[in-house]
């Protein structure tokens, strides 16, 4: 177990951006019609557009957040970008965003290639850097995904979103500790995989040939495959364990927390996790209903779309838990004390 504790650090704000275009859920499955598919997944519609990359959406979220926080751009010491859909194979998208956002040259930039657990990893990494840095005070964590239509299937659950999270370190500040627990099971690396396009299986003349996958569906080499049952089994066991382990190690009762922001995988899976943790429905908000599974954006997007009114001008204790591709997971417990949450941005 990788357990981390942070002092003097606060989450200062969270912003999210989605495309304006709404795409209703469709089902191409013979086993489920649209109604049954929506009932199982909990997703009625998602935001989608071929016009934007994940970095476009993250940039818009970052600009709005910096403006509302009144943070000068040259005050940012760390920029982290988390995504499975970077702008390029190289350079790192965090470098592209660094230039577009006009951050100073002394700013440390880093990409993290993770999906559903990515926000927890990104925030944990940023906090670690600030706490161990010399005179480093502010970090912006950008997370999101935007898959292009050519790499998608029409009934995929994934929606587009980009988010920005602002983190500040003040060694003299009196803040509640923040706790984080992260982990990996790399034996399940192929449970969710896009097999081609990297150096293991480079793009060639057959990359876009359709081949039959284990689930009977036809996909080309740049489309994502998922072993549904493996991912289900991983999610419903790992997420509750991770939250319980974090609470036990940190010495708190997780039932005392106000809200639980789970990665928005699908409703059936998340409800199993909620039931296992014996949490009341009103403590577990959902954004997936209208935004789909937004990968590493799902936790901050849920905060913005479901908790903005409840968090404005007050203090609440939150637990975020992400789990998925890798297989990878992370849980973070923190206090949202008068954090800045701009209205959802739509492009």
- Candidate segments 65-73, 75-83, 224-232, 248-256, binder of other proteins by CB under 8 A: 224-232
The two beta strands, 315-324 and 259-262, are parallel
Rg (CA), the chain: 19
Encoding tokens for residue 44?
């009625």
Q: State yes or no: residue 252 binds other proteins (CB under 8 A).
A: no
Please tell me whether residue 237 binds other proteins under the rule CB under 8 A: yes
Q: Which is nearer to other proteins, 206 or 268 (CB)?
A: 268
Question: Of 150 and 233, which has the nearer Cβ to other proteins?
Answer: 233
Dihedral angle at the C-alpha atoms of 331, 335, 338, 340, nearest 10 degrees?
-20
Task: Rule CB under 8 A: say whether 228 interacts with other proteins.
Answer: yes
Residue 11 CB, shortest distance to other proteins, in Å, is: 31
Q: Token pair for residue 25?
A: 């859920």
Taking the complex as a whole, how short is the minimal distance between the CB of residue 232 and other proteins, in angstroms?
Answer: 5
Residues 40-59 close enough to bind other proteins by CB under 8 A: 40
DSSP, residue by residue, 123-192: HHHHHHHHHHSSS--EEEEEEEE---GGG--TT--B--EEEEEEEEE-TT-----EEEEEEE-GGGTTSE
Environment class of 182 (CB within 10 Å of its CB; exposed 0-12, middle 13-18, buried 19+): buried
CB of 270 to other proteins, least distance (A): 11
List, in sequence order, every residue forming a beta bridge with 169; answer none if it has no partner.
9
Of 93-101, 235-243, 256-264, 290-298: span binding other proteins (CB under 8 A): 235-243
- How many positions of this chain bind other proteins (CB under 8 A)? 16
Does residue 269 bind other proteins (CB under 8 A)? yes
Contact flag: residue 276 with other proteins (CB under 8 A) = yes
Identify the H or E element spanning 111.
strand 108-112
Indicate whether 275 belongs to the interface with other proteins (CB under 8 A).
yes
Residues at the contact surface with other proteins, assessed by CB under 8 A: 31, 40, 228-230, 232-234, 236-238, 268-269, 272, 275-276
């Amino acid at each position: 177990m990788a357990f981390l504790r942070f002092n003097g650090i606060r989450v200062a704000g969270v912003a999210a951006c989605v495309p304006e275009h709404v795409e209703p859920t469709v089902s191409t499955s013979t086993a489920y019609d649209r109604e049954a598919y929506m009932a199982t997944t909990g997703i009625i519609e998602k935001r989608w557009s071929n016009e934007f990359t994940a970095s476009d959406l993250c940039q818009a979220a970052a600009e709005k957040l910096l403006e509302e926080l009144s943070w000068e751009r040259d005050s940012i010491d760390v920029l982290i970008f988390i995504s499975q859909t970077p702008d390029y194979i190289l350079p790192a998208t965090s470098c592209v965003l660094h230039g577009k956002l006009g951050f100073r040259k002394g700013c440390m930039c880093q990409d993290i290639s993770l999906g559903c657990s990515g926000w927890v990893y990104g925030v944990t990494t940023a906090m670690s850097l600030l706490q161990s840095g010399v005179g480093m005070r502010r970090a912006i964590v950008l997370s999101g995904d935007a898959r292009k239509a050519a790499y998608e299937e029409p009934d995929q659950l994934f929606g587009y979103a980009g988010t920005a999270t602002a983190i500040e370190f003040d060694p003299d500040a009196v803040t509640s500790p923040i706790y984080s627990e992260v982990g990996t099971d790399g034996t399940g690396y192929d449970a969710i995989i896009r097999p081609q396009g990297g150096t293991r299986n480079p793009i060639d003349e057959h990359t876009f040939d359709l081949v039959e996958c284990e689930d009977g569906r036809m996909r080309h080499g740049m489309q994502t495959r998922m072993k549904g049952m493996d991912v289900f089994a991983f999610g419903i066991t790992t997420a509750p364990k991770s939250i319980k382990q974090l609470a036990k190690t940190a010495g708190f009762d997780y039932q005392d927390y106000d809200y639980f922001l789970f990665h928005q995988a699908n409703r059936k899976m998340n409800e199993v996790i909620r039931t296992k943790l014996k949490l009341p429905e009103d403590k577990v908000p959902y954004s997936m209903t209208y935004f789909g599974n937004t990968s590493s954006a799902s936790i901050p997007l849920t905060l913005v779309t479901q908790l903005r009114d409840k968090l404005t001008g007050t203090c609440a204790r939150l637990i975020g838990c992400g789990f998925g591709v890798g297989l990878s997971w992370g849980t973070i417990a923190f206090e949202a004390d008068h954090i800045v949450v701009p209205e959802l941005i739509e492009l």
